[in-house]
Chains A and B, each alone.
Chain A
Amino acid sequence: MILDDRNYGTVAGDRRWGFVIFNLVLWWVGMVPMAMQVYESGWTAGGLALLAVYAILLAQVVYGFTLAATGWWLLRRGGDPVRINATLPADAEADALPPTAVVIPIYNEDVGRVFQAVGAMYESVQTTVGGGSFHFFILSDSTDLNTWLAEEKAWFELSQKVRGFGQIFYRKRRHSLHHKSGNLADFCRRWGADYRYMIVLDADSVMTGAALVRLARLMEANPRVGIIQTNTQLVLGRSLFQRINQFASHVYGPLFVAGANFWQLDNANYYGHNAIIRLRPFMKFCAMPELPKLGALGTRILSHDTVEAALMRRAGYEVWSAYDLEGSYEESPPHLLASLQRDRRWCHGNLQHLWLLAAPGMTVASRVNLWLGIMAYVGSPLWLAFLVLSPLLFLGEHNFPASGSVFVYVLALLLVPKLLGALHLIASTPQLKAGDGRWRVFRDVLAETIGSVILAPVLMLFYTQFVWASFFGDGVAWGRQKRTDESGPTWSDLVSAHLGHALVALAAAVLVAGIVPALLPWLLLVLAGPVVAIPLSRLLASNSLGALSRRRGWWLIPEETNPPQELQQILEPFATSPHRFPALLAHSPDFGFLQAVLDPYLNTIHVSLLRKRSPGSARTRNYLAALGHRLLCDGPRTLTPGEKKAVLWDAETMLLMHQKIWADRALEVSLWWAAAFRIYNQFNRQKSVRAAGWPADETGQAPQFQLGLVRDIGSG
């Protein structure tokens, strides 16, 4: 407990009421001119509808402004005295650390990136406290067979390299039930009882050892706390889109999270990663409920994190934001389309929270958190409605003064937080005060603001589509999240994503120019974004522009100029032992299979990680034996993906096939296997000759006479 119970109730009450009153005053100031205008137009039904939409939107804008202003005020005063990160007693370092599991759910991710981060965090924890009580779990739901096998190899070689056996674990789920929340629940059911805390990370998350350890100590010091969420800093951006995003998160993020902590206090939100959770109450109270199957929104909750925070709070445990804890990082999507793909899922998940707004027992603050998540997306169709309705209703009357004052007021509420962010950054960074540092900050903020003004209507149109699709569409598929993209989106992807919006914006511009030409300059602010979205989206996705901007000193963040050890380590390629197949074979769609059956080293790793088959029915045994036989005698092409998966999941069949192909000379394997086997051995003999220092003239490829066969295999 940060304050004693008596004081805490008073402080929380005062803060929340103060926050609400401040919001109401600002909201009222913005409402009056608009209401006057509606009044002057005679309280028509359209006018009242517009006023209602405006009231909701203004409340949202005012809330954002209040968060930033409160955060700025608190940070200027040296930070909030009521914050979880200030609760650690001076002698906490001496206490033994509790058993803590660091869990990383993954789903067809970049294997090297994931395991490099795990290695960096593991070593960082070892350096900080000597490890011991921290166990790392990579919880795989990968459906791609090649990725699965690559993960197993990476786990083994990483554990070998850092001597992490017994502290770094890997678990692959056979059935990826209920996505990420199901993956975590599966961990809890299997091993949750062994740990007091669980630190949840995303596949693109990284935390320093110091931050991981501090989170565990903070939980120890505050036994009534159920979840502590850290404020993650976006890092490692390469494209222009990522770099601008991470700059914005660096400049404005601290203000908003400090402001949120001011009123949320022990009722903060949980964002699903880079957070620590007390496992016992989590397992008891936070299992995800099933929603009724009604329309596209039903069944499993996709955005489980906010609900888990609300359930934890309902159970009487506190949820805090350690917004000032340093060393918590994640990456942003590489480009706009990848970001929108993620937003589609988030939108659907947040709208599912509508069902939970009336759930009994939840605190008011939890309901507000759920509501804010919903409004993050529902705000877009409301903005669109407002933009369409307002000119239709008012501009025929040319009542510009009131419209102008509303416009200026809302614009100020939107832009002042950016100015405050820049001022805070300059004030809190001594290096920026010297030379042209402060002007660089203003320049970068101005450029970012122009970019966000152009992009805002593009996002509005997409979010409107997402909201529509969530209510009336076919639901949302759980796909792999795109975290890196070397080449960026293709032009055809961009055209199919943005062309419709561009045409609508052009048509609107022509219409407005014909009917109310005076309005066109105002509307250009909104219409310009969708019109230029295709080239803009391509430019933002560019890695070379990202690199150029970095070289020129635009949108720099401290993690770029002075990266911590953990981030430096992630930038290095993950070193696994090279596979022993010619490059052409590696392009085979069945490359993973080829390796797991043929290569003794990889077969050993794969089989060792599978559970021993329970003595199943004779029918199952015969089925698997028949599949194994077909696989060897007819080649992998004759098996369906489901059959391949069944074979890969069975340790005995995998071992038997491996031994047969190496030891049974009488077995007539398919041409595919015969060729692969010969090429594989030929290649390894040559490598061995080279390793012994004998003269060799190969190019690292299979000999010429076998290239035809290699190509056959490579094409699957």
Chain B
Amino acid sequence: MNKLMSQTGSESAWGEARLRLEDYLRALRLTDDNNWREEIVARLMKQAAVDAAQSPGAEPTRLLMKQLNAAVARWAGHMNCSPELAVPAGLINWFALEPQARRPENFLPENNSPGRPLPSGVQLVRATPDLRISRMVPLPLANPLLEAVSLPARIGKLAREQQRKLRQGTSAALTVLPTWLGVRLH
């Protein structure tokens, strides 16, 4: 692994990337177990090193984060979520696991095929149920008081509309009239 790394980036760049990954995993609250976290870091470093050999010049931090996201997306692959948001979907379902189910072999299993059963205790996290759209529209009150009150407003609206039409008509007439007159004069 060290050999691969030395081919793809400086030792300090990999060291910084490792530190960043450790920070991220700590902030992620993936687990409180330091050994567990170390194990994940080591496995992701290994996968990133292989990746680095295939894409020379790639920045180590980016490679490591890509590996982490890929691992989470694989975990989320069991949950039929959209690929664009597979990472948050995978993570939130991981957070929702019972503490005893949060084991390294569940997060980064050796066999990570889509057919692999989910660990027991997984509760699929959904903020809302599926939509079932219905109609809810106000019925007319046909209230004489409301009718009377809204009459001035309705008359005003009608008057404004007529005024607008008149303006439009006048402006059209003013546009057409010279042309028409011109034609007539000719």
User: Could you list which residues of chain A lie within 8 angstroms of chain B, going by C-beta atoms?
Assistant: 135, 155-156, 159-160, 163, 165-166, 169-171, 185, 188-194, 283-285, 287-294, 311, 355-360, 577, 580, 598-601, 603-605, 607-609, 612, 651-652, 655, 659, 662-666, 680-681, 684-685, 688, 691-692
Contacts and interface: CB of A to CB of B under 8 A. Distances in A.
Given A655-B85, A663-B65, 10 more contacts: A166-B123, A292-B149, A355-B146, A360-B143, A601-B29, A604-B28, A608-B125, A612-B84, A651-B88, A652-B84
Contacts of B128: 169-171, 190-191
B137 A355 contact: no
Interface stretch (B18-26, B107-115, B165-173): B18-26
A601 B82 CA distance: 19
Interface stretch (B49-57, B89-97, B177-185): B89-97
A69 B20 CA distance: 74
B143 A359 contact: yes
A154 to B, nearest CB: 12
Contacts of B20: 662-663, 665
A140 B133 CA distance: 19
B93 to A, nearest CB: 9
Nearest to A677: B23
B174 interface: no
Contact of B95 (A155, A192, A604): A604
A604 B133 contact: no
A577 B32 CA distance: 13
Interface string B16-59: 10001001101111001010000000000000000000000001
B27 A680 contact: yes
B124 A191 contact: no
A287 B137 contact: yes
B133 A189 contact: yes
Contact of A293 (B66, B132, B153): B153
Interface string B127-150: 111011111111111111110011
A163 to B, nearest CB: 7
A389 B137 CA distance: 47
Contacts of B132: 190-191, 193-194
A595 to B, nearest CB: 11
A692 B33 CA distance: 9
A288 B138 contact: yes
A290 B84 CA distance: 41
A685 B25 CA distance: 11
30 contacts: A135-B129, A156-B92, A159-B96, A165-B123, A165-B125, A165-B126, A166-B123, A169-B126, A169-B128, A190-B128, A193-B133, A194-B129, A287-B138, A289-B138, A289-B139, A290-B138, A355-B143, A360-B144, A577-B29, A580-B27, A603-B88, A607-B88, A608-B127, A651-B85, A659-B65, A662-B24, A662-B65, A684-B27, A685-B23, A692-B34
B146 to A, nearest CB: 5
B146 A291 contact: yes
Contacts of A607: 85, 88
A293 B87 CA distance: 49
Contacts of B82: 612
A603 B61 CA distance: 19
Nearest to B122: A165
A285 B146 contact: no
A687 to B, nearest CB: 8
B103 interface: no
Contact of B92 (A598, A605, A681, A692): A605
Contacts of B95: 156, 160, 601, 604-605
B127 A170 contact: yes
B62 interface: yes
A192 B88 contact: no
Contacts of B61: 663-665
A448 B23 CA distance: 60
Interface in B58-72: 59, 61-62, 65-66, 69
Nearest to B139: A285
Contact of A355 (B28, B88, B133, B145): B145
A709 B136 CA distance: 52
Contacts of B131: 190-191
Contacts of A604: 28, 87-88, 91-92, 95
A604 B81 CA distance: 14
A685 B135 CA distance: 53
A29 B142 CA distance: 40
A308 to B, nearest CB: 11
B92 A358 contact: no
A655 B92 CA distance: 14
Nearest to A282: B136
Contacts of B153: 292-294
Given A189-B134, A600-B28, A692-B34, A608 B92 contact: yes
A156 B97 CA distance: 12
A653 to B, nearest CB: 12
Contacts of B138: 287-290
Contacts of B16: 665
A461 B135 CA distance: 44
B178 to A, nearest CB: 41
Contacts of A580: 27
A608 B88 contact: yes
A293 B149 CA distance: 9
B124 A665 contact: no
A659 B142 CA distance: 57
A688 B37 CA distance: 12
Contact of A612 (B29, B85, B144): B85
A691 B143 contact: no
Contacts of A292: 146, 149-150, 153
B114 to A, nearest CB: 21
Given A294-B150, A663-B65, A684-B26, A192 B140 contact: no
Contact of A165 (B66, B124, B137, B141): B124
